[in-house]
Homo-oligomer: A and B are copies of this chain.
Amino acid sequence: MRLLIAEDDKLHRSFLEGVARDTLPDLDDLTITSDGEDAIAAFNTSDYDSVVLDLQMPKVTGVEVAKSIWAKKPHTKILFWSNYTEEAYIRGITKIVPGAAVYGYILKSAPEEQLKLALQGVFIAEQCVIDREVRGVQQRAGDRLSGLSELEYEALIDLCLGLTDKAMAARRGVSLRGAQSRLQHLYQKLGLDKGDIPIGEWGPSFNSRTRAISLALTLGILNADALRREEENLKVWLSKAN
């Protein structure tokens, strides 16, 4: 068994290394990298069947590393090991996981025992091991009731990037009214219906447009990190479209 680890925090890195050595008996090779680029490079120069990825890393996210890895070898087993349950990451992962791939998702705050079980479960028993909390978010995302559809999610991103309605329409290839319609649905899902916002004597307290961003952030649908990455995508589009 050949294992590749990518994790930027020094402490967590050495902790993880220790646990992995303890838990996995037949470890032929163990390579440890501290950012996404190195991880991809390492994967391309040698053969690994198992990978542990932190999600938040400088330059290249764990999600992107996974994408690159699975594009090359879809049967690679990947365990995601992260601090947060941000819906943005989970969405990213479920979008790129190949049909029959084995993967896991566990939180750093989980006790050591759970980490050990996850390592064995994913890499030895080849099961999918997904943390309870994460599982909750995952279901909401797939569920039409409390979660956002893919289109609404796109609208949310554009909104959070600060685009105008017109720009959204242009970017997504729909009419102005189309973009506004998506926003409207988004507002509804987030509970910004007319009745729901408190009204003081000075009038309605919230501006739907900005309040939507606020909610997305506090509810953990998006985070600053994901935003910075979307900003990159936007730049690409802007330069291509101008």
Binding site for B on A (CB under 8 A): 9-12, 15, 108-109, 159-164, 166-167, 169-170, 198, 200-215, 217-218, 220, 223-224, 227-228, 231, 238, 241-242
Are the CB atoms of B202 and A167 closer together than 8 Å? yes
Query: Please, which residues of chain B bring their CB within 8 A of the CB of A220?
Result: 224
Interface of chain A: mostly helix, strand, loop or mixed: helix
In the complex, which of the residues A161, A169, A231 has the most CB atoms of chain B within 10 Å of its own CB atom? A161
Query: Please, which residues of chain B bring their CB within 8 A of the CB of A241?
Result: 200
Contact of A206 among B10, B167, B206 (CB under 8 A): B167
- Knowing A218-B231, A223-B224, A224-B224, the reply to whether A167 touches B209 (Cβ < 8 A) is no
Query: Please, which residues of chain B bring their CB within 8 A of the CB of A167?
Result: 200, 202-206
Are the CB atoms of A160 and B11 closer together than 8 Å? no
- Knowing A167-B205, A205-B167, A217-B224, the reply to whether A212 touches B162 (Cβ < 8 A) is yes
Complex CA–CA separation, A212 to B208 (angstroms): 15
Query: Please, which residues of chain B bring their CB within 8 A of the CB of A10?
Result: 109
Are the CB atoms of A207 and B162 closer together than 8 Å? yes
Complex CA–CA separation, A153 to B82 (angstroms): 32
- Knowing A11-B12, A200-B242, the reply to whether A160 touches B205 (Cβ < 8 A) is no
Query: Please, which residues of chain B bring their CB within 8 A of the CB of A238?
Result: 198, 200, 205
